[in-house]
Structure 1
Amino acid sequence: MEDLCERIERAALLRTVRILAARAHPAAHDAGTAFLAEYCAEDAALLQLLRADAGASDDAIGWILDAAQRLAGAGTSASEHAAPHEPTHLESVFNRFGAANGSKEGFPIRSLTDGAGMLFPRPVGDLDDAVRGHREVCDRLARHFARKSPVHMPLGELLRVLEETMSYVPSPAGADIALYDYARMTAAYAAALHRYAAAQDIHSAHTYEERGGEALPAFLLVSADISGIQPFIYAIPSKGALKSLRGRSFYLEILLENIVDEILSACGISRSALLYTGGGHFYLLLPNTVDVQNLLTRCHTEANSWMLEHFGSSLYLAMAWTACTGAEFAGQGTQEAFHRVSEGLSAEKLCRYSEDQLAAMFVPESAWNKTRDKDRECAVCHTSTTHLMPYSADSSIEACGVCSHLFTFGERILTKNAFCVSAERSAEALSLPGIGRTLYLTAEELDDVDRLSYKIERIYAKNAAYTGDLPAAHLWLGDYSARENKALLEMENLAQRSGGTEDSKGIPRIGVMRADVDNLGAAFLAGFPSEYVTMTRTAALSQRLSLFFKHYINLLCSGSVSGVGDRQKTAPFSLFGREKKAERDVHIVYSGGDDIFLLGAWDDIVELAVDLRRAFLRFTGGKLRFSAGLGFFKDKCPVAEMARRTGDLESRAKDQRGADGRPQKDSVALFGAVTEGRSLAEFERHTPIYGWDVFIDHVCGEKLAFLRAHCIFEEGAKGERLSLGKSAVYRLLTLLEQDGQIQLARFAYALARLAPPAQSPAQEAYRRVRTQLYEWYRDPAERRQLSTALQLIIYSIREKGEGSNG
């Protein structure tokens, strides 16, 4: 028999379907009710709840649904509300985010999975035929319901189906809030209200209002964050590094998702209550009851005890929560609620572990400190263990079971799309923390999960839809990886792919990109003007960001940079105008929340970084931006060192100052000059840092383009372009990094030495190069940009076999 809370959530979700059906058939009488009656006829009581008008119900369930709908749709003025049954287009949530710029953009009505391209916002005036769009989406939803009645769908599947069909349909909560976000927030509010009301002996709308209604502290805003992610991910040997990286980063993602689901399962609430997850962080909306607070305390303690047992103090789960009223979430109090829980989380990180855990940590023979075998140590994580096994990527070393299985997991996630959590241990399973139990994670094929020999607690379906009856969550995941003949390209292969192929010119280097969104924390706390601040709108913002960093990033890596419906298709950015395949030779190590780590062939990394920046700017209407570090390394460089140095570059990009001395951010820092024999200190001293527009338009679009148009970088080459050999380029680069009148004279002399014979067809190109480079040298900013352009050219013209210290 269906749990009452589950029934309430189902009714809350299906009530919003009435809105879609009514807009799809505006001429029909009560089309929404008729649509649901076709698929829910077997459950007359549920159908009655779906027919009920908001505000008219006082039965045991109806009043909760009505109150939840009011909360999910509150806080927006009447002029901003999307008419419930009037077919319109979804506006971008960024229209109301940040400073108003007068533009109003939106989306065509469509399903999330329609087509293979990204859906960028367009001017609202360019959008038409909303009725047809609603009808097509409604027809897709009908096909899902014909396959399986919404009465029988597990809530996880129903949420996935509604996400697919209603993510680009506007809601009554506001023209910029998708019907899917309105639906899941209605369900989240309804579930929390039901649990709170039961604990407080509230059984009717009258009692609810009499006790205080929306002024009651019925909700908990819960926040959690895992510390130590980066050291955990990068603590790997060089051999098989890519598979280890992917295994470790995805394992932590599933670990956090599983903690979320353990909490929700114990609360008897669906994933509608999950406001945001990504980058090692999550937010939940839960009922404010003593039982739930005790559960959170228990989960927090047990998760950290489990981490101490398996990883020592290298990983830590911080968790905090704050009581909130419905009135706060319906208006400006949302910002204050996020501020309170953020402060609580920061304070919790400064006071880690319970008293019992701290006491045990100082006992030498405790389970967390005991040396299991002083003569046997894992070659990867360096913990003592009684059980070592050969490390699959490097037979010369032995590793503990966890490290060995993490590598194997990294291999399997490349080909598997179902990640199954079970209470039964199987071969090569990875341990996960549960509440009052230990769970185990395996990677399987989605088509096989209903036939596995062990009992599954829950499934995480990666970029795929599960339609069975097991508890399942659909996860968007940035998992693009460069391959050849279906085999993953390892570090050495990626480095050799600079220039497009292993036979192309281009120094063999790994490029690494680390980036995150500028001021995202402040955006969640104060990004919307006060009149637009609601929890529903905040949830809509987080959903859009997750869509970009966990779904659309795969398309960008594959070379698809145009939007659906673009009249003119955009080509991927190119540094040197070479003929290359569209698919980038890169790997996504992780991309979630606001954080990106990519590595690949160095030129593909730079080009992809520009594609990402352009797409993100377009996706957010210019309201959010990111800063990045781009590092270049030999393929034998330890991954931890790559990550550290590129992280330093990212920090320097974020510290970039404008003319007024304030942080400019929206910048990129590149790891330094490439001339022979430079020390690390010299590299860092000459690190170029630019605003993105300066790098794209001036370094690449002007300086690099000018040099490509007027020079050929081969010694003694004939033709109309000026011949510049590598030694000449190095000479110019050295002079560009120096200042003063004497250096200016030396630079002019160096330019004079480039002159071709008097009758050479390259004379005109030489005159232009001499004049332009001399002019750029005289301006410090232009000189620095020219220096970076020459550095990129040096990288591009080096032969793969040349020795290099750079």
Structure 2
Amino acid sequence: MDETEIRGLVIAALLHDIGKFMQRTGVPHDPRYDRLTGEDYGQHGAHAKWGASFVSSCLPDPYIEDLILYHHNPPRSSHPVQAKIIQDADHLSSAMDRRTRESKGKVAEEPLESIFPSISFTRERSEKTPPPERVYPLKPLSISRDAFPVSRREIDLWKLTPAYRTLWEDFASSCNRLDNPPPIGTLLALLKKYTSAIPSAVYVNRPDIPLYDHAKTTAAIAHCLAASTEENPFLLIQGDLSGIQNFIYGIVTPEDARKRMAKRLRGRSYWLSLLMDAVAQEISREFGLFEPSVLWNTGGNFAILAPNTPTNRDSVETIARRVNQRLLERYGGRLFLAVGMLTCSRSEIESFSDTLERLSHKTGIAKTQKFIDCEISFEPRGENWPIEGCCPSCGERLEPETGRCQVCDLHERIGQKIARARYQVRGSGLPIAFEDLGLRTSYDLTPDIPATRGLTAALSINSTDFPIEGDLTHGFIFLGNTVPTVGDRVLSFGEMARFARGSQRLGVIKADVDNLGRIFAFGLPEEQRTISRIHTLSTKLEFFFSGYLNSICREFLLYHDLCAGCRERATRKISVTTTDDEGIERKETYYEIERPCDECARKSLSPFYITYSGGDDLLIIGPWDAAILLAGRINDEFRRFTCNNPDITLSAGVAVATPRLPVGRAVAKADRLLERAKESGKNRIVLFDECLIWDDTGYAERGYNTLITTAREIEQATSSKKISKSFVYTLLVLWNQTFDDLKSCSIEEETKERIRRKRFVPYLKYVMKRHAKTRDDLESLERLVQPVFPWIRFPVYWTSLRLREERR
């Protein structure tokens, strides 16, 4: 097949089931197809008449229309070979996925079910106990709670036909504005927006696979079947970037590199994500792939499904070797691109999670053999220059004429642009380029789409509303881009620390999903571990960590430049004095207020800095007390997003540090705390040297949610003079006398011993009685302190830091 035929085939594969969407609206199909019967369109293929009608009216193309109409019965097609490819791709993508049901489903009444309740590592639970039914509202995709699964009764709409019709009208209206032939990336973005909450199959199958994921994987598989020359038609490629954390936080001279560090860190993180996209784009361009072939590209890891040919296999090795050679020369081995390849048969694509696990193993081996195929010279080369000529941040040579570091300047510009950018544009000749690494794609972050030659794509950031017209690829991406800004100025870490109550410190949150590799490999029942569901899991997690995380951070807001009326109602006023690079002193005032007026509501900022988020992990920096609260909100929302499945959990570490501490050391501390949470059984948060479960257990172990409530109550009581600071300090002394010897125990032994030991009770009662003024005060104090005393350190540290008065 030539390129035009393959392009049409990929579009037909993307739209092969679009007729199901149109059919569920109750809108009639083209009268031309009235005469067709099951003998024409095939068994279970009636929806093809609606699909062909859609193509005929919106994207007229007889070739694509024919393939969609007969993809269930290829012999009737004018292009039987291509129609058979789509039929096979359809089956490989979903036929083995679909969980048959005892009774027939009702298309007009059953919304998309969440896949998360099906995840289980306990075979007894998944076989004997049916997962709870959690479904998605039938709405366009957006960064909101509309994308969260809810119980069936919460939808409050038993007949879905009106909702389908409203959704279809918007989708069809958008498609009518597409060029013909349409940019495949734009068409894919429209499918993602409008079909991510639509089940791909209902009548005889469980409706738990979104139409978008099924359409995308079908298109990727069809391209491989059409273009491969091998018996095993699929080449699965994985890229994994190694050395990310050391690259972002490795600072040569921390004291000299503090200025503009916040922007530089965010810029480095985003530069790395663009690097991985540039590698994926290079592979796609070399192979002639379209957007559906990149299964995912997030968190420094991508997966591509490509046709298996000798040329493609050689090209992957050539690209990986070229990039790593340049990374070695440019960055001295700090970054390494591990690439794994695996040729796959049709049966191996059907059992996709097993195949993905084998590919991850090969990529892991590549990580242990860094730069093995590169030319490495052990002879001294280059030239000597004085240390004063080196960048204090990254160690690169400063430009002799300007005394500036080009690398750090680029990262700072990226960090500055992220906060205000509405689009990520891609093409050639753009400011963020990777030509020195042998990659042809370049990028920029812009408030508007520029009229620049060489532009190939413009992606809206965190908004599913995007332009459609033209031959440029349009779409959207989710990006953790929450940054505290005032105007065009990004606040420094020192300013962010001033937003904390009491002690002016920063909190560094590091968190990720527990057992993610196990979830992908073994979480689903064996017969369901195929490409559509694995892709669905990846898509859902990416939405939460790259997109919805911004919404959680926006729950904590400060305001600046309030009107007089709002200033009077503000509950807190924060004055911050800073000195800029030119030595000019700047004074800013920020406010906390519950309901500002509409005008002042536009002057908000979140106090958090998302350094990176995506895939399954995150790193966020903010005021220490708000960071601790944010960690709890993230876990609460993640539990709700994953239907409270006990086998899908989150672990976190929160490091509290002075803003004068080099940020790399603060991040390393948070990383150690996260590792401790993982080693202690997972599903935990570690902070203030306490390893806590998130929620209380039935065995009297107290969790984060109970203790943060206790902490705030003790803080309030202390602040209002109901109890004294000395009493709070006495609680810590008594805790140390009772439990300090447990530091060397395992978390299980320590927890049991904390619950068992009661020798603190007499003295605790004595201390409480001395501090209580009345019997009611004593009873209130006992209810507050005694049940949580074995974990009282967290509330004590919280109260101490929140009420501390520091010299400015």
Distance in 1 separating the partners of 2:780 and 2:100:
62
Match of 2:771? 754
Q: Which residue of 2 aligns with 1:254?
A: 274
SS at match of 1:3: helix
Residue 77 and residue 747 in structure 1: after superposition, are their counterparts in 2 closer, same or farther (change >3 A)?
closer
In the other structure, the counterpart of 1:403 is: 408
Matches within 5 A, 1:359-508: 360-365=376-381, 370-371=382-383, 373-374=385-386, 377-383=389-395, 385=397, 387-388=399-400, 398-424=403-429, 429-432=431-434, 437-448=439-450, 451-452=451-452, 454-464=453-463, 465-467=466-468, 468-471=470-473, 474-485=476-487, 487-499=489-501, 506-508=502-504
Q: Distance in 2 between matches of 1:729 and 1:466?
A: 58
The equivalent residue for 1:349 is: 367
Q: Percent identity over the alignment?
A: 25
Verify: 1:530 aligned to 2:520, yes or no. no
- Give yes or no for the alignment of 1:787 onto 2:761: no
Q: Structure 2 counterpart of 1:168, which letter?
A: A
Counterpart residue number, 1:111 = 140
**Do 1:82 and 1:88's aligned partners in 2 also have CA atoms closer than 8 Å?**
no
Question: Cα 1:772–1:264, aligned 2, differ >3 Å: closer, same or farther?
Answer: closer
| Alpha-carbon contact 2:654-2:673 (below 8 Å) kept | yes
Gaps of at least 5 residues in structure 2 are 35-48, 252-256, 558-591, 596-603, 740-757
The AA in structure 2 aligned to 1:233 is I
1:141 corresponds to: 171
Q: How far did residue 705 of structure 1 move?
A: 4.1
Q: CA deviation at 1:159?
A: 0.6
Q: Distance in 2 between matches of 1:62 and 1:513?
A: 51
Q: Out of 678, 691, 709, which is 1:654 matched to?
A: 678
Kindly indicate whether residue 660 of structure 2 is the aligned counterpart of residue 630 of structure 1. Answer: no
Q: Given that residues 586 and 598 in structure 1 are in contact (C-alpha distance below 8 angstroms), is that contact kept between their aligned partners in structure 2?
A: yes
Q: Is the 8 A contact 1:81 1:175 kept in 2?
A: no
Say whether the 8 Å CA contact 1:329–1:535 is kept in structure 2. yes
Tell me how far 1:38 sits from its aligned partner.
Answer: 1.1
Kept in 2, the 8 Å contact 1:510–1:633? The answer is: yes
Secondary structure class of the residue paired with 2:95: coil
Match of 1:56 among 74, 77, 91: 74
1:180 is aligned to: 212
- Distance across 1 between alignment mates of 2:544 and 2:161: 27
Query: After superposition, what is the alpha-carbon deviation per residue over 1:399-434, rounded to whole angstroms, capped at 9, x for unaligned?
Result: 42112211112111221233344443x6xx333158
Q: Is 1:255–1:433's contact at 8 Å kept on the other side of the alignment?
A: no
Are residue 549 (structure 1) and residue 545 (structure 2) matched?
A: yes
Q: CA deviation at 1:544?
A: 0.7
1:170 paired to 2:169: no
Specify which of 283, 291, 309 is matched with residue 271 of structure 1.
Answer: 291
1:492/1:176 CA distance change after superposition, 3 Å = same
Q: Deviations over 1:342-369 (max 9, x none)?
A: 11111111112244x24x332322xxxx
Relative distance call for 1:53 and 1:560 in structure 2 (3 A) is farther
Structure-1 residue corresponding to 2:302: 282
* 8 Å Cα contact 1:550/1:592 also seen in 2: yes
Matched, 1:38 2:57: yes
Equivalent position SS for 1:170 = coil
Aligned match of 1:764: 776
User: Equivalent residues in 2 for 1:159-308 (5 A)?
Assistant: 159-172=188-201, 174-196=206-228, 199=229, 216-236=231-251, 237-308=257-328
| Maintained 8 Å contact 1:171/1:179 | yes
Structure 2 CA distance for partners of 1:382 and 1:147, relative to 1, 3 Å: closer
Which amino acid in the other structure matches residue 667 of structure 1?
R
Aligned to 2:20: 19
Q: Show CA shifts across 1:440-459 (max 9, x none).
A: 433333332xx12x523544
- Equivalent residue for 1:620, pick from 627, 631, 642: 642
| Cα separation, 2, equivalents of 1:742 and 1:247 | 53
How far 1:280 moved relative to its partner? 0.7
**How well do the aligned residues superpose, as a CA RMSD in angstroms?**
3.0
Residue identity matched to 1:95: P
Deviation at 1:153, TM superposition (A): 2.1
Q: Which residue of 1 aligns with 2:149?
A: 121
Match of 1:322 in 2: 342
Q: Deviations over 1:501-532 (max 9, x none)?
A: xxxxx221111100010000111111111121
Counterparts in 2 of 1:439 and 1:81: CA distance versus 1, 3 Å:
farther
Shift of 1:731: 2.8
1:603 aligns with 2:599: no
Give the structure 1 partner of residue 515 of structure 2: 519
CA distance in 2, matches of 1:700, 1:667: 9
Residue 581 (structure 2) aligns with = none
The whole-number CA distance in structure 1 between the counterparts of 2:105 and 2:556 is: 35
Q: Distance in 2 between the 1:82 and 1:388 partners?
A: 74
Deviations 1:610-637 (A, max 9, x none): 1111111111122311100011111121
Letter aligned with residue 361 of structure 2: E
Q: Which amino acid aligns with 1:137?
A: L
* Rounded Cα–Cα distance in structure 2 between residues aligned with 1:82 and 1:470: 43
**Secondary structure of the corresponding residue to residue 90 of structure 1:** coil
- Matched-pair contact (CA < 8 Å) for 1:430–1:442: yes
State the one-letter code of the partner of 1:640.
Answer: G
Shift in Å at residue 46 of structure 1? 2.4
Equivalent residue letter for 1:611:
R
8 Å Cα contact 2:546-2:613 kept in structure 1: yes
The structural deviation recorded for 1:292 is 0.9
Letter in 2 for 1:785: W
Contact 1:378–1:399 (Cα < 8 Å) also in 2: no
Mapping 1:605-754, distance limit 5 Å: 605-623=627-645, 624-656=648-680, 664-670=681-687, 672=688, 687-694=689-696, 698=702, 702=706, 705=709, 713=717, 722-724=722-724, 726-739=725-738, 747-754=764-771
Superimposed CA distance per residue, residues 696-746 of structure 1 (whole angstroms, 9 cap, x where no aligned partner): 99456555545755785558x67xxx331x333223222222218997665
* 1:334 lines up with 2:352 in the alignment: yes
Give me the whole-angstrom Cα distance separating, in 1, the residues matched to 2:472 and 2:625: 44
Q: Deviation of residue 269 (structure 1)?
A: 1.2
SS at the partner of 1:224?
strand
AA aligned opposite 1:519? N
Does the 8 Å contact 2:423/2:448 carry over to 1?
Answer: yes
Cα distance between partner residues in 2 of 1:138 and 1:508? 52
TM-score scaled by structure 2?
0.81
Contact map agreement 1:54 1:69 (CA 8 A) in 2: no
Give the one of 157, 160, 163 matched to 1:130. 160
Question: Which residue identity does 2:360 align to in structure 1?
Answer: S
Shift of 1:651: 0.5
User: What CA distance in whole angstroms lies between the structure 2 residues aligned with 1:654 and 1:474?
Assistant: 34
Aligned 8 A contact 2:16 2:71 in 1: no
Partner of 2:755: none
Which AA in structure 2 matches 1:69?
D
Letter in 1 for 2:83: G
Distance (whole Å) between structure 1 residues aligned to residue 86 and residue 715 of structure 2: 70
Structure 1: unaligned runs, 5 residues or longer = 201-215, 391-397, 500-505, 562-577, 657-663, 673-686, 757-761, 777-781
**Residue identity opposite 1:362 in structure 2:** F
Query: What is the SS of the residue equivalent to 1:177?
Result: coil
Distance in 1 of aligned mates of 2:277 and 2:711:
50
Secondary structure (helix, strand or coil) at the match of 2:449 reads helix
- Who is 2:5 aligned against? 4
| Distance of aligned partners of 1:379 and 1:74 in 2 relative to their CA distance in 1, 3 Å threshold | same
Kept after mapping to 2: 8 A contact 1:298/1:435: no
